[in-house]
Structure 1
Amino acid sequence: MNRKAPLVNAVYYPSWRVYKDIPPSSLQLHKISTIYYAFAIPQENGSLGFLDEYADAQIPVDGELGCLNALARVKRDNPHLKTVLSIGGSTVDWEHPRTPVEGRHYTALLQACRVALPSPQFLLTTALPCDPSVLRMLDLRTVGSLADHINLMCYDLTGPWSAVAGHHAPLFAATEEGMSSQQGLGLLLAHVPPHRVVLGIPAYARVFPGATAEGDAYEQEDGGNEDDEDDADKEEVEIDYRDVPPEWMAADVLRIDQGRAAAWAVVPRPGKKGQPGYARNTSFVSMDVPATVRIKARFVRAAGLGGLFYWTGAGDAVRHKDSLVAAGFDALHGT
C-alpha cells in the first residue's frame, strides 16, 4: 500500500521514570520513530509549565540537566527521531469528554493549536480512548482533519474498576457483546482516514488477584489508609512489562489467543506477612507480549493505519528479544 508517510512506531516517555534510572537514552531508539514527552502542564496565563521541574529541567541525566535537555540530546544524536511535547496528563485530561459541550471545547482546543502550530511544520496529535460513548461526544471528522495522528488508547478495557477479571487490551472480542479495541476503532474509522489512526499498545500488565480466568471475580484492595502497616504487603495490580517476572512468560504459563491478539497468565499469588494464605491463591494477568504486538502490527498494515504507539517506552523490556517496541517495529516493516 502506498503511503504519504512511513509507519509510526512511537513511544511515550514519562519524566517520572528517570527516578527509576530509566533515562531517555535507554529507549529502543533504533526501533522508534517518535518520542512523546509526558507531560507539560497548561498554566492559567496560557503558557506551559513543568509537571516536575526537578525531573524536567534539573536532574543530571544522560550528561544533561533535566529530561527535556536529555531528550533534545537524544534527538540530536538520532536525526530520524521526531519529538513531541505532550500536554496534559490525568490532572488536566481533556481526552475523555463526557458531554457534547465538552466535545466541542475539545475540538476548539485542537483548532486553536492547529492555528498556532501550522502543518506541515509542526506535528499535532491527540490521544483518545477506545470507549465509543466518549468518541461519540466528538466531531470525529473535524478532529481527524486537524490532527496528524489520533493515538487510540487500545488498553485499560478492564482494570481495578471492573467487576470481573478480563483482558485489558484485546484487539478483537470473543463475542459481539465483549469488549475490545475494535469497537472504538470501527467508530473512529467511519469518520477518520485510517492513516491518521495510530493503535496503542500497553507496556504494562494488569493483575487480578484471586482470579483464575477471564470473567472471574477477583479480590479488590480496599482503599485503606496510606500509613497502614499492611500497605507494604499489598499486591501489585499494575506492573511495567519490563518488571514482569520471567516465570510468567514461560511457555507452560503464558497463553496467547491469536484470534483476539490477547495474552494472559495465571500465576501464584505472593504471600502476605501474618497470613497463612488466601482463599484463592492465583492471579489472572493480562498483558501484551511480542507475539500479540506482531499480530496487531500486521493488522495495522492490512487496515492501512498509521502505526503503533506504546504507553510507555520506559515500561518496555530491556532486551531486544523481549521488547514490545522492537517486535512492533519489525512487524510493521515486514521483518
Structure 2
Amino acid sequence: MCTVPRLFLGKFKKGSGWNKPSAEKPASHKPYDGPDGFSVGTYYSNWSPYEARDHKPTDIPVNLLTHVYYAFFVVDAKTGAVKSSDSWSDFEMPMSGGTKGCIKELQKIKLNSKHEFRSILCLGGWSNREAYKKIATSEKKVKTFIRTAVECMFQYGFDGIDLDWEFPEEGTNEPAVYLEMMRGIREGMDELELQIFGPAESDNDRLHFQLSVATPAFGEKLNILPISEMSNYVDIWNMMCYDFHGEWSEVTGYHTNLYVQGHSRKRNSNSRVSDSTLSSDAAIKIMTEKHKIPARRLSLGMAAYGRGFTNVESKDETYIGKKFHGVGGASEGEPGIWLYNQLPIENTEEQFDASAVSAYCYDSKQRTFVGYDNTRSMNVKGKYIKTMNLNGGFWWESCGDSKDPNKSLVNALRKEIEPSEGFVSLFKHKQVQDHHLQKYPQDYISDLFQKF
C-alpha cells in the first residue's frame, strides 16, 4: 500500500487559481529519462472490438509501436476506486485461442512479441471527467483512487498508468488534487518497485513503472496546472494535440494542425476550447518555453480521425473560419467524427494545407468540411518530432488507422522516426512475474506467466 501525503485540500481561494502548497516531502522519484530513440504509441479503446469498429488487440500493429495505451478504466465517483468501464470487453469477450477479454489478449501479445512494447492503463477520459471532480472534495476517496490505481495496474499486467482528467478547473482545489494524485501514484509505483527489485544503487539502475499524463494542448487549461511540481513525477506528457475545433466551435477549423490557421473568432463551451491560435507547435512551446519541461518528456498527439462541419457557409473555395450548421459524422456514436479510414468522404478529393499541416476534404453537395491527419502530415510531424527532439508521438486511436499499408498513419510516421527498442515490458522480467504470482496466484492473467 502506498503512503499518500496529506492532500492540500482547501489551499484554493475562489478565483485565485492554483496556490503553490508547501512541500511536505521531496519527490522520491526522478522521472525516467527513457531509452534512446523515440516512442511511438497508440491508444486502444475497450469499445473498439465491438461490431461497429471490429478492431481487436490482434489488429494493433504492435511491431511498429513502443506503447499501447489501454482506455479506459474509470473512477467510481461514490468511492474513488478505479474500476473497469466495460467488464465484458475487458475480461470476458472471446478472443483468439480461447483467451477471454481484451486485456488478457493484449498482455498475451506483449509477452509473446519479439518486438518490445509496453502496455499502459489509462484512467478517466472525457466521459469520466465528473467523477474526478466529485472525488476531489474527499481526501478518503482520493487515497482510495491512488491505492486502487496502482493495484489495478499491476494486477492486470500493465507497465504503467496514464492519467486523463479533462480538465481540472481554475479557482478550485482540483489542480492541487491532481498533483497529489500524481505524487501518490508515483510513490505507490516506487514502493512496488522496491518490493519487486529491492534497493537500487541509483534511480536509473531500477526498472520503472511509467507514469504519463494525457495533457491539454492549450494554454487556457495548461497554465492553471502546477506543471513544474507535476514534472517531479511524470515520465511522459502525452500532449493531446487534437480537437482544436469541433461542434463546440463558432466557426470551422482544423482540429489537429501542426501550425496556426487563419481566423480569430472563438467560443468556449462545455470546457472545450476553440481558437485559431491553437496548434500542436504552440502547445509544445508552452510546455518547453513557459513551463521549462524538457522536450524529451513530451509526446506529440495526433489523430486517427477527422472532425467535420456541415452546411458550411462558404461562397468560394475556402472553408476555414466559416459559419456552419451541424457536424455530421460517419463514426457510430460520435457526432462530427469520421475515422481516418473513412476519409476522404466518397466522391471528394483529399487536399492538404501545407502551411497549417492538415489534410482536409470538402463535399460540395452536403457542404461538409472535414479536417484530419494523413500520411503527408505524418511526414511533416515525424520531421518535427526529430527536429524538436521530442519523446515521440502517439495517436487517438488505433481503430481509426487504415489497413492499407500505403495509407497507414503508423507506417507513414515509421518512415520518419524509428521506434526505440528500449521500452521493454516489466512483465518480461522473472522478478515481476514471480511477484505477481505471489500476490495473485490464480488471478485473471496469472496463467500467462505460468506458460511464459
Show the counterpart of 2:241.
154
Say yes or no: does 1:48 pair with 2:82.
yes
For residue 378 of structure 2, the aligned residue among 290, 293, 299 is: 293
Show the counterpart of 1:167.
254
Structure 2 letter corresponding to 1:106: Y
Say yes or no: does 1:243 pair with 2:278.
no
Show the counterpart of 2:122.
86
Show the counterpart of 1:304.
389
After TM superposition, where is structure 1 displaced by more than 6 Å over at least 4 residues in a row? none
Q: Displacement, 1:259? A: 2.7
Secondary structure of 1:39's aligned partner: strand
Say yes or no: does 1:104 pair with 2:104.
no
For residue 196 of structure 1, the aligned residue among 297, 300, 310 is: 297
Show the counterpart of 1:28.
61
Who wins on radius of gyration, i.e. which is larger?
2
For residue 406 of structure 2, the aligned residue among 321, 326, 331 is: 321
For 2:219 and 2:334, the matched residues in 1 are separated by 32
For residue 110 of structure 2, the aligned residue among 75, 87, 108 is: 75
For residue 265 of structure 1, the aligned residue among 332, 346, 361 is: 361
Structure 1 letter corresponding to 2:325: E
1:173-231 Cα shifts (integer Å, max 9, x gaps): 14596332222221111221100000000110111112251111111269xxxxxxxxx
Show the counterpart of 1:14.
45
Q: Which 5+ residue runs of structure 1 have no aligned equivalent? A: 223-233, 270-280
Q: Displacement, 1:5? A: 3.0
For 1:29 and 1:221, the matched residues in 2 are separated by 33
Q: Displacement, 1:58? A: 0.5
Structure 2 letter corresponding to 1:188: M
Structure 2 letter corresponding to 1:113: I
Structure 1 letter corresponding to 2:87: E
Secondary structure of 1:12's aligned partner: strand
Structure 1 letter corresponding to 2:113: N
For 1:298 and 1:3, the matched residues in 2 are separated by 20
The answer to whether the 8 Å contact 1:144/1:196 transfers is no
The answer to whether the 8 Å contact 1:14/1:38 transfers is yes
TM-score by length of 1: 0.85
Equivalenced residues, count: 308
Structure having the larger proportion of residues in strand? 1
The answer to whether the 8 Å contact 2:126/2:166 transfers is no
The answer to whether the 8 Å contact 1:208/1:237 transfers is yes
The answer to whether the 8 Å contact 2:219/2:286 transfers is yes
For 2:243 and 2:408, the matched residues in 1 are separated by 20
The answer to whether the 8 Å contact 2:344/2:350 transfers is no
1:62-107 Cα shifts (integer Å, max 9, x gaps): 3310111111111122240111011112233324121153111111
For 2:344 and 2:369, the matched residues in 1 are separated by 14
Show the counterpart of 2:5.
none
Q: Displacement, 1:244? A: 2.2
Show the counterpart of 1:274.
none
For residue 123 of structure 1, the aligned residue among 189, 210, 215 is: 210
For 1:39 and 1:3, the matched residues in 2 are separated by 24
Structure 1 letter corresponding to 2:181: L
Q: Displacement, 1:3? A: 7.9
Q: Displacement, 1:258? A: 2.0
Q: Are residues 235 and 52 of structure 1, via their aligned partners in 2, closer, same or farther at CA, if it must alter by over 3 Å?
A: closer
Structure 2 letter corresponding to 1:105: V
Q: Which 5+ residue runs of structure 2 have no aligned equivalent? A: 1-32, 130-164, 191-202, 265-275, 420-452
Alignment RMSD (CA, Å) = 2.4
Structure 2 letter corresponding to 1:111: R
For residue 350 of structure 2, the aligned residue among 238, 242, 254 is: 254
